[in-house]
Structure 1
Amino acid sequence: MFNVEQYKGSKQENYSLAEKQLIALVEGEPNRIANLSNACALLNQLLDEVNWVGFYLVENDGLVLGPFQGLPACIRIPFGRGVCGASAAERKTYRVEDVHQFPGHIACDAASRSEIVIPLIKGDELIGVLDIDSPITNRFDAIDEEMLEKFTHTLVKYL
């Protein structure tokens, strides 16, 4: 079903194809962890120049590590701390050109230079965040932000 060789179009076309692949993978599957795991794997295959793709899920007064691909990561992040905690607390996307310039950045992987974090919101409930790191400064642009927000909006329907 999934073939990374299909991703040879424009950035928008690739994201749209990934969204269709996501629906095919998660439709009819009620297990949240399975769906997050497949979404993570799909994005990891789609995106170049990334070193970590994963989810942090809401638990009590913060975020706890969920499905991911990459090096071992921080397990718990309080709301408001680091890029993930800020995104969760404010329920907004953060696109950070240089993580070393972000106040309170949590360095789980010293190789990470830029990051994008998108909150997962279902109805009025914050479920967690999608976190993607890159070893390249300024890796993520407005197209990535727009299309990843669309991707996560679709994903949340299946969680």
Structure 2
Amino acid sequence: MLHKAKYMINKQLEAIINQETNMIANLSNASALIWEHFPDINWAGFYLWDQKDKELVLGPFQGKVACIRIGNGAGVCGTAFKNERSLIVDDVNLFSGHIACDANSQSEIVIPLIKDGKKIGVLDIDAPIKNRFTKEDQLILEEFVSVLLRQIQTPA
């Protein structure tokens, strides 16, 4: 059963971004909501696909400074983006090719952002403890991304 407090994050997101189509504004508030509602995390934010440079570029986030660019297929974010599938990594130290932006991060969940068949980027959340993320978290965050994508307009 989905934890009610975490489920409410999706309702809050809907209320906050209702009628706002600016992607950066909505991603900024979305990362702040995750930061407030998910305990035991140390980073929550977005990487956006740069069509020109063919890599993910840092977008709105909450947490410590982060890696700015991630190649398609590189690290956890690039892998989830390339494969177009959510990815939970219980121990990032065991993930081949992990990109350590913050040495304190021990586990990670990444949810791709895909709208109308167009890959936009990823939602990335890190935790300072191993095995932090569950399938329940994945379902909540996939719905969260779905709510977000319904409202934002993608760049041309």
In the alignment, what sits opposite 2:37? 46
Deviations 1:66-94 (A, max 9, x none): 00000000000000000000011010011
The whole-number CA distance in structure 2 between the counterparts of 1:112 and 1:16 is 24
Aligned to 2:151, the other structure's residue is in SS state coil
* Residues 1:62 and 2:55 aligned together: yes
Q: Report deviation, 1:24.
A: 0.7
Q: Report deviation, 1:11.
A: 5.0
Q: Could you tell me which of 10, 13, 18 is aligned with 1:19?
A: 10
* Residues 1:82 and 2:75 aligned together: yes
In the alignment, what sits opposite 1:103? 96
In the alignment, what sits opposite 1:135? 128
* Residues 1:33 and 2:24 aligned together: yes
TM-score (norm. length: structure 1): 0.92
Indicate if the aligned counterparts of 2:6 and 2:38 stay in contact, CA closer than 8 A: no
The whole-number CA distance in structure 2 between the counterparts of 1:11 and 1:71 is 29
In the alignment, what sits opposite 1:155? 148
Aligned to 1:157, the other structure's residue is in SS state helix
The whole-number CA distance in structure 2 between the counterparts of 1:33 and 1:25 is 13
Deviations 1:20-58 (A, max 9, x none): 110111011121100000010001000000000000001
Q: Which runs of 5+ in 2 are unaligned?
A: none
Runs of 4+ displaced beyond 6 Å: none
The whole-number CA distance in structure 1 between the counterparts of 2:119 and 2:4 is 28
Indicate if the aligned counterparts of 1:65 and 1:74 stay in contact, CA closer than 8 A: yes
Q: Which amino acid aligns with 1:31?
A: N
The whole-number CA distance in structure 2 between the counterparts of 1:46 and 1:128 is 22
Q: Which runs of 5+ in 1 are unaligned?
A: 1-9
Aligned to 1:129, the other structure's residue is in SS state strand
* Number of residue equivalences: 150
Identity within the alignment, %:
51
TM-align CA RMSD = 1.0
In the alignment, what sits opposite 1:118? 111
The whole-number CA distance in structure 1 between the counterparts of 2:141 and 2:19 is 22
